[in-house]
Chain A
Amino acid sequence: MSTPLTARILEEHANAAAALPPAGPTAARRRTAIAALTASGLPTSRDENWKYANLRPLERLRFIPATATPALAATDLPAAIPGFARYVFVDGAFAPALSAPLDSTAAAVTPLAAAPDAGQASAAMAVQTPAPGAPADERFALLNEAFATDGAAIRVAAHSGEPVRLELVFVASADALTGASYPRVELQLDSQAHLLLIERHVSAGPHASFVNSAVTVDLGCGATLHHYRLQELAARAIVFDTLSAVVGRDACYRLHGISIGAQSARSTLAVRLAGERADLTLAVVALGERQQVQDTYARVEHAAPRARTEQVFRGISAGRARVAFNGKVVVGSEAHGTDSRQSLRGLLAGPEAEIDVRPQLEIYTDEVRCSHGATAGKLDENMLFYLLSRGLEPEVAQRLLKWAFLEDVVARIGVAELRRQIEERLAQQLPEPAARAEST
């Protein structure tokens, strides 16, 4: 499938190929990825699962990776989270001077540029043929694989005691006119491993960066991963993000996504519950204002018996923003005893704002318990009047209710300092402090 866009990607790739280091995803893998991408093409807004995404910026973006690394100081980054090792990547490239490596024998974090083969086994997952019947929604990961020069290969071994604590900070600094940023994470948890992972995407400066991130997650039997993903890029940034995960038997994956920044953000989350009793919680918060587009597509595939999914989405759309969440759960013929719940809620905070929440269920077996609820609406008039009748200003009451709308998802963030930072960031957009902490 050759379109002007794929032709241009191919051309930029050919021009860049000589300059791209042989390390990272190896040259051979890059070639495979670009070939696959050229064959399938990137999604268009005619694709069912891409109709809410903003794909127009692709026409004017450059795909070649940014190379000029700016001088950043630790103070340009979000405050460190106590107890968490930190790895910083600037425009996709590892920045050792800004990092505070892990002091643990249970886990290894290897910059992909330094160890080309480190994460190859799990990285291959991203290019696996999607399950039959599933549209190829993970094609932006091919774009990442074709151009990425660096990234983090993480392997956590089985261990006892405290979970491994790790923070990855991806900083976008280049303007899209000079080059793109390709954050890449290849994560593998061995059987019984336990990891708390914070993955942050931030900007250095106000540039209109183009970020295309790809994350692969492989959870072995009985492994536990708490994964906090924060997208807080600058207001003019464009981001396409693809996460592909496979969850093994008795493994537990808690995925928390907070999407606040960027002009236009699309996140594709594809999780396959491959082992019996795999357990997934997928909780996403997205805020849009101005003309922001915040689009998430989550596809959860139950491919083994007695697995459990909980999908929770809370989105607020203000100004002329569009906030969308399309959550699909596919229960395969072998997945009897599936327990799947979806609670998707959108809040319209302005007459010109747009909310699209869409739960989808495809069930190919009996003996399953699947529930879904989806609502999109304005603030509850009864709640609003109750607060006004207690003397609160209308603006205060509205902010309070917006905050309350997000609260049950934000409260699930188990890392106290991270939760504090997220609440602070949310409060900038909903500028009324929630006084939950003032209780007893």
Chain B
Amino acid sequence: MTASRTPLLAINGLHVTVEGKQILNGLTLQVRAGEVHAIMGPNGSGKSTLAHVLAGRPGYQITAGTVSYEGRDLLALAPEERARQGVFLGFQYPVEIPGVNNVYLLKAAVNAVRKQRGLPEVDAFEFLGLVRDKMKLMHIEDSFLSRGVNEGFSGGEKKRNEVLQMLVLEPRLAILDETDSGLDIDALKVVAAGVNSQRSPERACVLVTHYQRLLEYVVPDIVHVLVRGRIARSGDRTLALELERRGYDWVSGEAA
């Protein structure tokens, strides 16, 4: 495990409400470069809210707390600025956008990051080669390129597409919101291979998941259990196994 001293992501006492309802309730979490964290928890514990708040989705009121990313205030940035700074959200429910094709979106996304870094636009030919390589890794067919974003994709295809986007964009901080849900075992292995291929000392990954199944293939450094909007317990990967054995009531009861 490679860990630098300053955390890549530092969440402190985060309180978030949605339509007046308290969802996150003083959440504190630090993620260092090189680490993979798993955030587990029962339904309604605030897992997806956390993922969305980090990506900057509108509709969430942050009532207290701070989030810093690379030492800067993440919450002050617009969603597109966060993306360009290297924050990536893999959606639990990827959106279908008929009429916008996949390769166009990939290219526009990569060029947005490059522009931010003062780099010229990506060479179209090289880019296509790179995308094709990553598509092979994700078992995605060639015809995908000219199709509309997630248009008519199965649940599994959508999730693989999220991971493909992540591989092409190479974010510093990837937040994958239940990317494993609804996948069969083969698709799960493909998704896991994609995530593992991106592990590096420079990058970090936060896996939001309900089940520990994904964690058999993407082994996390730290596992957190989220209960009623705060981290109730943290531990190594054995915590996920224990949760699997004993159920969430075990932690929920403790936290109550």
Contact A392 B57 (CB under 8 A): no
Given known contacts A407-B99, A435-B101, A440-B142, A389 and B107 CB-to-CB distance under 8 angstroms:
no
Residues of chain A having any CB pair with chain B under 8 Å:
380-383, 385-394, 396-397, 400-401, 403-408, 434-436, 438-440
Partner of B97, one of A383, A388, A389, A436: A383
Q: Of B3-11, B75-83, B220-228, B237-245, which stretch is located at the interface?
A: B75-83
Contact B79 A389 (CB under 8 A): yes
Chain A residue nearest to B85 in the complex (CB): A391
Looking at chain A's contact residues, the main secondary structure is helix
In the assembly, what is the distance between CA of A396 and CA of B104, in Å? 12
Residues of B within 8 A of A404 (CB): 97-100, 148
In the assembly, what is the distance between CA of A440 and CA of B129, in Å? 11
B56 within 8 A of A: yes
Tell me the minimal C-beta distance from A347 to chain B in angstroms. Answer: 12
Given known contacts A392-B80, A400-B100, A404-B99, A439 and B145 CB-to-CB distance under 8 angstroms:
yes
Given known contacts A404-B98, A440-B146, A388 and B103 CB-to-CB distance under 8 angstroms:
no
B84 within 8 A of A: yes
Contact B91 A386 (CB under 8 A): yes
Partner of A388, one of B80, B91, B98: B80
Q: Of B108-116, B183-191, B202-210, which stretch is located at the interface?
A: B108-116
In the assembly, what is the distance between CA of A380 and CA of B84, in Å? 22
Residues of B within 8 A of A396 (CB): 108
Given known contacts A386-B94, A407-B99, A438 and B104 CB-to-CB distance under 8 angstroms:
yes
Residues of B within 8 A of A389 (CB): 55-57, 79-80, 82-83, 88-89, 91
Partner of B95, one of A383, A435, A439: A383
A sample of 10 inter-chain contacts (CB < 8 A) reads A382-B95, A385-B58, A390-B83, A390-B165, A391-B113, A392-B109, A400-B108, A405-B99, A438-B104, A439-B104
In the assembly, what is the distance between CA of A394 and CA of B58, in Å? 13
Contact A385 B57 (CB under 8 A): yes
Looking at chain B's contact residues, the main secondary structure is helix
Chain B residue nearest to A402 in the complex (CB): B99
Size bracket, chain B contacts: 35 or more
Partner of A392, one of B55, B82, B101, B108: B108
B124 within 8 A of A: yes
Given known contacts A393-B80, A439-B145, A381 and B58 CB-to-CB distance under 8 angstroms:
yes
Residues of A within 8 A of B113 (CB): 391
Chain A residue nearest to B146 in the complex (CB): A439
Chain A residue nearest to B97 in the complex (CB): A383
B130 within 8 A of A: no
Contact B98 A407 (CB under 8 A): yes
In the assembly, what is the distance between CA of A438 and CA of B131, in Å? 13
Residues of B within 8 A of A394 (CB): 78, 80
B105 within 8 A of A: yes
Contact B99 A408 (CB under 8 A): yes
Chain A residue nearest to B99 in the complex (CB): A404
Contact B79 A439 (CB under 8 A): no
Residues of A within 8 A of B80 (CB): 388-389, 391-394, 397
Residues of A within 8 A of B148 (CB): 404
Chain B residue nearest to A411 in the complex (CB): B99
A385, A389, A434 interface centre (most CB from chain B within 10 Å): A389
Known: A389-B82, A439-B145. 19 other contacts (CB 8 A): A382-B95, A386-B149, A388-B78, A388-B79, A389-B55, A389-B83, A390-B165, A391-B80, A391-B84, A391-B108, A392-B108, A392-B112, A400-B100, A401-B100, A407-B99, A408-B99, A435-B103, A439-B146, A440-B128
In the assembly, what is the distance between CA of A385 and CA of B58, in Å? 8
Q: For residues 45 through 84 of chain B, which have their beta carbon under 8 Å from a beta carbon of chain A?
A: 55-58, 78-80, 82-84
Q: For residues 166 through 215 of chain B, which have their beta carbon under 8 Å from a beta carbon of chain A?
A: 169
Shortest beta-carbon contacts, A-B, top 7: A404-B99, A407-B99, A391-B112, A439-B146, A391-B83, A390-B109, A386-B95
Chain B residue nearest to A407 in the complex (CB): B99
Residues of A within 8 A of B99 (CB): 403-408
Residues of B within 8 A of A408 (CB): 98-99
Residues of A within 8 A of B98 (CB): 404, 407-408
